[in-house]
Amino acid sequence: MAARLLDGTRIAADIRAELTSRVENCTQQAQRPPTLGILLVGDNPASQVYVNTKSRVGDALGVNVDVVRLPATITLDAAQDVVHRFNCSAAHDGILVQSPLPSSLGPIAEQRLFEVIDPAKDVDGFHPTNVGRLAQGRALFAPCTPSAILELLDRSCINLEGRRAVVIGRSQIVGKPVALMLLHRHATVTVCHSRTRDLPALARDADILVAALGRPAFVTPEFVKPGATVIDVGINRLVDSSIVRALLPVGSPRLETFARRGSLLIGDVHPAVAETAGALTPVPGGVGPMTVAMLMVNTVRAAEKRLEAAV
């Protein structure tokens, strides 16, 4: 039997609807809308799409999204100047540095930019102070994608306490923070990565399997315990028709989508997993829209906290 799809698009819409009155209250009290400052460096196509989506969602919700776009040739000092301006601005409640940054800025550019964000405006939760608070279970802001995963599980009535969770991927943005958040919810967590031995066998122990490694269709049915909940964080754009045809069964409506658009979004989980898993997030329409919704939640929370501090 096919897995139950965890509809991130629908749940994200519910979250935005719940935020409406809070945005109105903030706007009335501050005499301006909650405002998110985004720094976008370079012309990475995926980053352009993500930032445009965040702007569109913010506009619809009544949150002002102020995007500063810099060329890839900019210096790290100049990029830090933008973050400092957001820090000092009375009109900006939250700050986000869009990843990835161009390689021209150096191997630790993201770390250096995250470190200069005011922790009280760090709505992506990557400042060392917020990372430390997350490790202690008292985060001011938790990273948006891990927050999206937990919210999606909660609103889908999937219990975490006492369950075995396996996270494939150890990135600072998803893998490590989601492992911590699952631990705080009393799951027993294993983090796997490229050097993990016998990865499929470890993954098959999971009641909840999170795939966040950035490799299209890597997680096949042999990784999945029957009935497990599978969270697919990957977003991979495929343009090779032979690869797409090999992944999808004959007659799949997604083949028509590929023929029409010339590309297809595929997660880190193979489509065949839908016949083994008990619940599964689709790509697109799963974790992605939830991540943007949680960014809006964090931005509104930041605005509310600034208003509280001003009283």
Rounded to the nearest integer, the mean pLDDT of the chain is: 96
pTM of the model: 0.95
Position 194 scores a pLDDT of 86
Q: How large is the average pLDDT for residues 52-63?
A: 97
Predicted local distance difference test score (pLDDT) of residue 311: 72
Query: Among residues 54, 121, 176, 225, which one is catalytic?
Result: 54
Task: Provide the pLDDT confidence category of residue 268 given band limits of 50, 70 and 90.
Answer: very high
Other C-beta atoms lying within 10 Å of the C-beta of residue 111: 12
Q: What angle in degrees, to the nearest 10, is found between the helix axes of 144-155 and 175-184?
A: 40
Tokens of 109: 């550019």
Q: How far is CA 90 from CA 30, 40, 61, 146, in A?
A: 10, 21, 21, 29
Query: What are the pLDDT digits (tens) for 219-261?
Result: 999 999 999 999 999 999 999 999 999 999 998 999 999 999 9
What's the chain's Rg over C-alpha atoms?
Answer: 20
Whether 98 is a known active-site residue: answer yes
pLDDT over 90 at 201, yes or no = yes
What is the token pair recorded at 288?
């992605």
User: Quick check: is 176 catalytic?
Assistant: no
> Going from the N-terminus, what domains does the chain have, and what CATH number goes with each?
31-118 (3.40.50.10860), 144-289 (3.40.50.720)
Q: What ranges make up the beta strands (E) of the chain?
A: 4-5, 35-41, 64-70, 94-97, 164-168, 188-192, 208-211, 229-232, 236-238, 264-266, 279-280
Given a contact cutoff of 8 angstroms between Cβ atoms, the answer to whether 199 and 193 are in contact is: no
Q: Across residues 1-5, what is the average pLDDT? A: 86
pLDDT tens readout for residues 161-194: 999 999 999 999 999 999 999 999 999 999 999 8
Catalytic residue among 7, 122, 124, 268: 124
Give the percent of the chain with pLDDT over 70.
Answer: 100
Do 179 and 208 touch, CB atoms closer than 8 A? no
**Given pLDDT bands bounded at 50, 70 and 90, which one contains residue 2?**
confident
Residue 1 has pLDDT above 70, yes or no: no
**Count of CB atoms within 10 A of residue 298's CB?**
25
- What per-residue confidence (pLDDT) applies to 39? 98
- pLDDT, position 310: 83
Residue 261: count other Cβ atoms within 10 Å of its Cβ: 11
Hunting for tokens 């096919």 — which residue is that?
2
Q: Give the pLDDT mean for 37-59.
A: 95
Q: Annotated catalytic residue: which of 93, 98, 122, 232?
A: 98
Indicate the SS3 state at residue 219.
Answer: strand
Average pLDDT over residues 76-100: 97
Across 100-129, average pLDDT:
95
pLDDT at 150: 98
Mean pLDDT value of segment 289-299: 98
195, burial (CB in 10 Å: exposed 0-12, middle 13-18, buried 19+): exposed
Count of C-beta atoms within a 10 Å radius of residue 103 = 10
